[in-house]
Amino acid sequence: MKRVLFPGSFDPIHYGHIDIATRASAIFDELVIAVYDQPMKSLLFSPEERIDLVERSLSHIKRIRVVGYNGLTITFAKEIGACAIVRGLRVFSDFEYEFRMALANRRLDPGVDVISFITSEEHTFLSSSTVKEIAALGGDVSSMVPKLVQDAMSRKFQDLGNEHNVLPINSLRD
């Protein structure tokens, strides 16, 4: 049984993530999407909310399981018996970051490989921060995230009132 791990912040999940998860799950027996508890970036959604949005966005694919985690990704991959870590690549700047991470992870554990999927052309520009920025400013994100994510963002921005202005903006590599 080939199990792979797709880790990330997923704040929130968007069609770029969904595309990678769908394609990877078609190749392996099980794709475990691991939602990082506290990445070093400001988040809009809590870990529980992010897990829930990922679960509901991908509930139609039976080979996908969603979990939360913290600590080192490579350690978690080993713990759950994953043979590889799946990542997505959009632009060249992603490549440099992913390349360094992959080499660092290999130093830590050569037994878990890293497999990078090239994004589909229509999702090249998509990142969670772009989606949040557009949604926070009232733009249409219906082509970027599922309806349930759109609704969750609307509710969140309503709850936050003006506080959402503290969201960090303009990071392609999020």
**Which residue in the list 128, 129, 132, 156 is annotated as catalytic?**
128
Give the closest residue to 36 by CA, choosing from 16, 13, 58, 60. Answer: 13
9 or 57, CB closer to ligand ADP?
9
Tell me if residue 17 is catalytic. Answer: yes
Tell me if residue 90 is catalytic. Answer: yes
Closest contact distance (angstroms) between CB of 26 and ligand ADP is 15
Tell me if residue 127 is catalytic. Answer: no
**Which residue in the list 14, 50, 87, 90 is annotated as catalytic?**
90
Closest contact distance (angstroms) between CB of 168 and ligand ADP is 13
Q: Are 85 and 117 in contact (CB under 8 A)?
A: no
**Which residue in the list 14, 17, 87, 123 is annotated as catalytic?**
17
| Cβ count within 10 A of residue 138 | 8
Residues of this chain that interact with ligand ADP (CB under 6 A) are: 7-10, 16-17, 20, 39, 87-88, 90, 94, 119, 123, 126-128, 174
Distance in angstroms (rounded) separating the CA atoms of residues 164 and 157: 6
Closest contact distance (angstroms) between CB of 6 and ligand ADP is 7
Question: Which two structure tokens, joined as six digits, stand for 13?
Answer: 């999940």
DSSP annotation of 27 reads T
Closest contact distance (angstroms) between CB of 87 and ligand ADP is 4
Contacts of 102 (CB under 8 A, 6+ apart): 87, 114, 116
Indicate which residues carry an active-site annotation.
Answer: 17, 41, 90, 128
